Chains A and B, each alone.
Chain A
Amino acid sequence: MQALLDALVTGLAQGAMIALVALGYSMVYGVLKLINFAHSEVFMMGAFAGFYLLNALGGADHPVLAAVCGTLGAMALAAALGVLVERIAYRPLRERSRGRASGNVRVTPLVTALGVSVLLKNVAQLAFTARYKSYPQLFGHTRLLIFVVTLVTMGLLQLLVHRTWTGKAMRALSANVEAARLMGVRTGRIIAFTFAVGSGLAALGSVLYCLDQSQAYPTMGEVIGTRAFVAAVLGGIGSIPGAVLGGGLIGILGELAKLTQYSGGQDVLVFFVLIVVLLVKPAGLLGKTGSEKV
């Protein structure tokens, strides 16, 4: 019983981190209908930014200061990176394909996203080497912290999307980009803002992840990126509560699988659940086809 309870708590914390990353996939998809595969690499870059900032700010000597300022700094850097990727890799493609209804409108940005992902991974390997970097250990148990931070962030994000003009513009964009532009929404700016928020959240997730699980390395985005993407799809891509629900489910399922003797095949279970859910509800658990997204 104790083991089950412990696994649930760990699963919730793990799920909360996955959810933070899943939000980035979900928000960008909501606005642009683009699966931003470079997102997992922004997550990784956030972890490295956090690593250097935490150490520069005194690391274990000033745990609270280092954690707060380091995390905010990493979020800012990751947000800048996210906007940069959007500006360099996605926007030119979008502008060139405007008004055309060919299949390439969807496929070209997707391939570009994969390319950016490979590029960032290799840049990180050149800049930081392939060696694993051990994070400073600031706190003993971080599970509660992770959980609380994630819940607060979700609340703020929900407020942002549903109670502010920017949020309204994001939702308008999601419904119809051209119509939003005609209504005077500065679409370019809103899209950049969406990328900034998503990337910042990924960096928040990655610093929390590393504080809990201790190492940053260039290929770290692959594992967590896959799980976050699955979480976003499971919850209904484009939906904020969906990403949170999906992340939580995957976190808890993963930890429960570890209690069984099939623990080595944890991801098999996760993907099995994904397939079953998509067969029953193709839009994901909280996804709605053809209505409000973001």
Chain B
Amino acid sequence: MLARRTLICSSWALVVGLGLLAGCSKPAGGGAASAGGGETIAVGAFLSLTGSDSTFGIDTQQGIELATEQTNAAGGVKGKKIKIVAEDDKSSPQEASIKVKQLIDRDHVVAVLGEVASSRSLAGGQVANTSHVPMITPSSTNVTVTQGKDWVFRACFTDDMQGQQAAVFAVTGQHRTKLAILYAAQDAYSSGLAQTFRDEAKRLGATIVADKGYQKGETNFTTYLEQIKAAAPELVFVPNYYNDMVQVARQAKTLGMSGASFLGGDGWDSEDLLKGAAAELEGSFFTNHYAPDVPWPNSQRFVADYRAKFHREPSSLAAQGYDAAKLLYDAMTRAPDLKPESIKNAIASTKGFQGATGTLSIDANHNAQKPLVVVRITGGKFTYFSTAGG
């Protein structure tokens, strides 16, 4: 952890340092670079670089870093280089709003990128909205994150759409009509997905034979799984996070339930899920933003670039971070000037933006309209299965 953080810090220092060097050398070179000069545009990022969700923050930061590097290499925005000012919110909503305030007041950033967790995007978004600085969240899917906030956008789909598409996939795509649901009752993400899944599945004519909420932080799922097993569903929808899912999957296996009987949401997307329970979940599905082997040219290019830079497989959070940054830079390029108001209007009018996670347009509610990917766990890996909605 420490070593990794130092590595990231030093690589950031390197990027920033190189940016400064490039900036300094230009004026010395003469009038040719007068349009850009030594100026940089500061863009803020607030992410969970430490704390319980540190993998979310670090992956997203790498995606943003890659996007920024590519944009700067291609000449930057309006002839100026982008400089990312990244702040760590320590996986806490309180800290998130403080950091966003700092980015705006101290660093005078023109826009803010951030957070993965909806709770922290809500906290940070509140500050960005009242300060009138545009913000794009790469992967917060809770509906309320952008609701009623003129200055907050997202580069991903919402929980509503995800739950609904999961139900369509289960009932229409896989022809399963006896369904069960297991979700974390106190978690907005989990219970939100369960709610829309339940409604849509019923509308499509399926029956919910077992519907159990569990206490957040629960670790013993045996009793729930026994009840679900007794109800004999054809598919069990478990919209929770990967940490919980490892335990659910392992305990389900001791009860003799097949991995292929589970369906999840984007909360499953972590290499830790594969490390903990790849064998137990063989054949299961989940809805996601993206898969490493998704057959879209933009995604393939992103995966290759990411591998070359970081020597590992990108997670969907890295792809989302990359897209959010690229979306912002695209809007900044299209905007007539770099005033927050102009950037905001340019983001709002985004249509047909080609990202690593598919082609997206920003709708009237500031949400991204884009396709959703169904991923299957086979051979201990996440593999692309199909595309839905969009």
Contacts and interface: CB of A to CB of B under 8 A. Distances in A.
A212 B254 CA distance: 10
A272 B272 CA distance: 36
B51 interface: yes
Given A132-B272, A134-B246, A258 B1 contact: no
A10 interface: yes
Contacts of A141: 254
A132 B222 contact: no
A17 to B, nearest CB: 9
Interface string A188-217: 000000000000000000000100111101
A142 to B, nearest CB: 9
Interface in B162-217: 184-186, 212-215, 217
A3 B213 contact: no
Contacts of B224: 258, 263
Contact of B214 (A212, A215, A222, A258): A258
A130 B51 contact: yes
A143 B220 CA distance: 11
Contacts of A264: 184-186, 213-215
Contacts of A71: none
B6 interface: no
Contacts of A137: 250
A126 B51 CA distance: 9
Interface residues of A, number: 36
A263 B275 contact: no
B313 interface: no
A113 to B, nearest CB: 22
B73 interface: no
A77 to B, nearest CB: 21
B272 to A, nearest CB: 6
Interface string A129-146: 111101001001101000
B217 A215 contact: no
Contact of B246 (A7, A126, A132, A143): A132
B130 interface: no
Contact of A215 (B185, B219, B254): B219
Contacts of A220: 219
Interface string A1-45: 011001100110010000000000000000000000000000000
Given A2-B230, A130-B52, A134-B246, A223 B217 contact: yes
22 contacts: A3-B223, A3-B227, A7-B223, A10-B220, A130-B51, A132-B272, A134-B246, A134-B276, A209-B219, A213-B251, A214-B246, A214-B251, A214-B276, A215-B243, A215-B276, A255-B223, A258-B224, A263-B185, A263-B224, A264-B185, A264-B214, A266-B215
Interface of A: 2-3, 6-7, 10-11, 14, 125-126, 129-132, 134, 137, 140-141, 143, 209, 212-215, 217, 219-220, 222-223, 255, 258-259, 263-267
Interface of B: 1-2, 50-55, 91, 184-186, 212-215, 217-220, 222-224, 226-227, 230, 243, 246-247, 250-251, 254, 272, 275-277
